[in-house]
Amino acid sequence: MNDILNNAANDEQAESTQPSWFERVTQFFQNEIKTQDQLLEVLEEAKNNNLLDQYSLTMLEGVMQVAEMQVRDIMIPRSQIVVVERDSDLKSILPTVIESAHSRFPVIGETKDEVVGILLAKDLLTQINKDEKTSFNMREILRPAVFVPESKRLNVLLDEFRANRNHMAIVVDEYGGIAGLVTIEDVLEQIVGEIEDEHDIDDDASILEHDDGTSIVKAITPIEEFNEHFGCKISSEEVDTIGGIVINALGHMPKRGEVVNQHGFQFKILRASSRRIHLLEVVREDVSVTSENTVQHENEVESPGSVE
């Protein structure tokens, strides 16, 4: 019994002599740190000593990266902005809102560089059931647009987003023209990583099937894996992924909403950046419709005011 008590006392004494978490972190910062690289080395050492997990380290690195980046580094380019015209009626706006699935839309006036405000998709709900005699007036539901230069640093923009409770800003170039747009989600994703939406697939999966016959496929899915899943024989000597097949068929870097029919499948771009495709919606074609490869564009549903 005495041995047990003595061991417990020794363990308690050993724990009490160990430095606390705060003291251990403080020890890392006792030496003067003069560069960001030195700070990153300290944080990496903290992770190796189990003071930080990998996700926390990644976020801290993201915070430092945001302080060095500018809006132009992450903005959605002008060519990919989905807009609506100020004088559009409700019937012409709804298809654009539904197809793009965005929550906010820049509203333009007479020219594409004249952004007069921001339309929130939820504000249209109050307009849908209005009496037909009551005309739809875009100006009544417009929210003010916020404009920022391409050179603004992301940490400053994030602080402004928080202070002003804004979620979107229109990016202008040095001549005052529209260069793109940026959202608070774009900035936060530089810190916490990509924010998933309803289309996202688990990291360990490449293809997600839905009951309605559609499938959500990661663009980086190897062609061989796609063939095995769908029982097809797609092949290419130029590319290795199903996203590469789609890019080759379109002949340019796709934007969200574009559709291409290839190899008996319809591929629709669900998510894409200026550099690569992320997600595809895949549906088997009705072989009786066409046997040729055809390419369609989102112009069929996009508002006529979409910026090109």
Hey, what domains does the chain have and what are their CATH numbers?
A: 2-68 (no CATH), 72-192 (3.10.580.10), 207-299 (3.30.465.10)
Query: Residues 6 or more apart from 258 whose CB is under 8 A from it?
Result: 250, 268, 269, 296, 297, 298
In the prediction, which pLDDT does 300 show? 39
> Is the pLDDT confidence value at 220 over 80?
yes
Q: Give pLDDT tens digits for 23-68.
A: 555 555 555 666 777 777 777 887 788 877 777 777 787 788 788 8
| Separation between Cα atoms, residue 216 and residue 227, nearest integer Å | 15
In the prediction, which pLDDT does 303 show? 35
Of residues 266 and 304, more confidence is placed in 266
Query: Residues 6 or more apart from 2 whose CB is under 8 A from it?
Result: none
DSSP state of 232: -
For the record, the structure tokens of 233 come out as 């024989």
| Separation between Cα atoms, residue 131 and residue 174, nearest integer Å | 45
Whole-prediction pTM value? 0.55
In one-letter notation, the amino acid at residue 39 is L
Task: List alpha helices for 103-238, DSSP H.
Answer: 125-128, 154-164, 184-192, 223-230
